[in-house]
Chain A
Amino acid sequence: MEYKILFKDYNKALKQNRLLGLKCADCGKVTCPPMMVCQECAGTNLQIQELSGKGKVVSFTTSYLNSEGRENELPITIVLVELEEGPWIMGNLDDVDPKRVNMNLIGTRVSLGHRVFPGDKYSAGNAARPVFSYAEI
């Protein structure tokens, strides 16, 4: 059995600000980032769905420490976002002063953009990552 969405295809789409997910025809739930099967019911009857990229922050952390070679990204705010379609994804939050980030951020509506992590010697190439900004109301 082949993957419906390989990482390379997800990555290519995200570089165009398009977020690809998988809609399960059995249980109706959406999986993103993609997996081989539905993350809810393990079903394989999946269809590719382009997601809205809109959602709300469910948690956050501002890091003052990072992995070797990524110190220049600090401080960096990492968020978990619940997408309108249901799944959660990890990304960064842009355009925010890390010192002003607090618990009020939880519940804030955000929308998707991206930046590319160029990769390091262990990462087998680059990877686009979701970078969210405050959604226009």
Chain B
Amino acid sequence: MRRVVVLGGGHSKFCYNSPKTSVEMLSEVAIDAIRESNLSVKDIQAVNVGNVLGDFSEGQGMVQSFFANDIGCFNVPATRFEGACASGSLALRDAFIWIASGYYDIVLVGGVERATAMGTALATRTFAMFGDSRYEFPSGFTFPAAFGLLAHLYAYRYGIPLERLKEQMAAVSVQSHEYAMKNPNAQIQKKLTKEEVLNSFMVTTPIQLHDACPFSDGAAAVVLASEEVARKLTDQPVYICGIGQTSSGKLSSQYRYLPRLRARELAAEQAYRMAGLTPKDIDVCELHDCFSIAAIIAAEGLGLFEFGTAGEAWERGETRLEGRIPINISGGLKAKGHPIGATGVSQAYELTRQLRGQLAEQGRQVDGARYGLMDTLGGDGVLVSIIFSNQ
């Protein structure tokens, strides 16, 4: 298997009510990524795109082909990946496999979403399509509700008084807002206090408005290449050194294991094993904080903290830039934003910059970071872990 390098990247500002179409948002960041890679569109051999709800938000299916054509990648194989909020991560992982296997040398990976065009009611409906439509949606299942169920279960399982857990969850959101203020691509650039979190609108107990990420529009792209090709193009290679992907079924079928998500733990295990690393080796992590409790569950499932303790770790500052394991220094899904098809690619873009030491100017560089871990959760059952290295 060949080594695979992340070359250049492109990233839009995540936002509400983008005036641009999905094709336009994605095309702009893709050209940025190709130029930063010192390549031209003619060098791109294949295009992988994460996109989830274009069919509903713009009446646009098959965005990948229109996008490839728009940027002048005429007639290349273009493939759309759909795994709810992990779609971009699927596109990335498959591109890695294609290059590692020797079939392609250069693949463009993009992700895009324009969810806010749907409005909150339709967006909530379409996002709920990533739960079980026949056995769980009829009960009023939504993703906020799923994480409300997991939050109460978490408090019960680990014997944490709900009021304490709520404070820990608030600490997650407060930290994310703080770093988003330093990230020019972030959707929400506004300081948030614990009191504001705890006084915000109750969405579904115990999840309040500021425990939840926003609906978002945005796009991100990166170019992957074989090590041999990359050597001629960059002197700052960032390698993908571990990948993991798993699936799981409807929430109730995961029963006794909850609030832990076994599929995440297995995906992370695959990635660590392939990279020859353990959680202790990770210097910086971007994980799937679609809800504050989701961040706590993710950090534990990735092995970064003991079960039942991640919330305290956030409160103690262990997840901060200068902490033991900096997490979501981009602002996370909570404040950077969560355009679902783009999220995994955005995480990869962020970690690539961390590992190249390019974020000092923004005041959010993790000094000396060598290994970065990304974690993405799609719906009730697509989990992706990818580890990046700068050596």
Complexed CA–CA distance, A78 and B151 (Å): 13
Complexed CA–CA distance, A69 and B121 (Å): 8
Which residues of B lie under 8 Å from residue A44 when comparing CB positions? Answer: none
Indicate if B45 sits at the interface (CB-CB under 8 A): no
Listed residue (B122, B145, B201, B202) with the most chain A CB atoms within 10 angstroms of its CB: B145
Complexed CA–CA distance, A95 and B191 (Å): 41
Dominant SS at the B interface?
helix
Known: A89-B252, A103-B155. A129 touches B138 (CB 8 A): yes
Indicate if A2 sits at the interface (CB-CB under 8 A): no
Q: Contact mask A99-137 → B, CB, 8 Å, 1/0? A: 001110010000000000100101100011110000000
Complexed CA–CA distance, A15 and B153 (Å): 29
Cβ contacts A to B, 5 pairs, < 8 Å = A61-B206, A64-B204, A78-B141, A90-B252, A129-B139
Known: A68-B125, A127-B138. A59 touches B255 (CB 8 A): no
Q: Contact mask B122-151 → A, CB, 8 Å, 1/0? A: 101100110001111111111011001111
Which residues of A lie under 8 Å from residue B205 when comparing CB positions? Answer: 60-63, 101
Complexed CA–CA distance, A90 and B134 (Å): 11
* Interface set, chain A 61-103, CB cutoff 8 A to B: 61-71, 73, 76, 78, 80, 82, 87-92, 101-103
Choose from B128, B134, B155 the contact partner of A7 (Cβ within 8 Å): B134
Choose from A71, A122, A123, A130 the contact partner of B121 (Cβ within 8 Å): A71
Indicate if B152 sits at the interface (CB-CB under 8 A): yes
Which residues of A lie under 8 Å from residue B137 when comparing CB positions? Answer: 67, 117, 123, 127
Choose from B122, B138, B201, B203 the contact partner of A63 (Cβ within 8 Å): B203
Min CB–CB distance A57 → chain B (angstroms): 10
Q: Contact mask A2-23 → B, CB, 8 Å, 1/0? A: 0000010001000000000000
Known: A59-B149, A59-B153. A90 touches B251 (CB 8 A): yes
Complexed CA–CA distance, A103 and B125 (Å): 28
17 additional A-B pairs beyond A102-B162, A117-B138, beta carbons within 8 Å, are A33-B250, A39-B253, A59-B152, A59-B153, A61-B207, A62-B205, A67-B137, A71-B121, A73-B140, A78-B139, A80-B251, A80-B252, A88-B252, A89-B135, A90-B251, A117-B137, A117-B139
* Interface set, chain B 239-272, CB cutoff 8 A to A: 249-253, 255, 258
Min CB–CB distance A80 → chain B (angstroms): 6
Complexed CA–CA distance, A118 and B205 (Å): 25
Complexed CA–CA distance, A70 and B140 (Å): 8
Which residues of B lie under 8 Å from residue A60 when comparing CB positions? Answer: 149, 152, 205
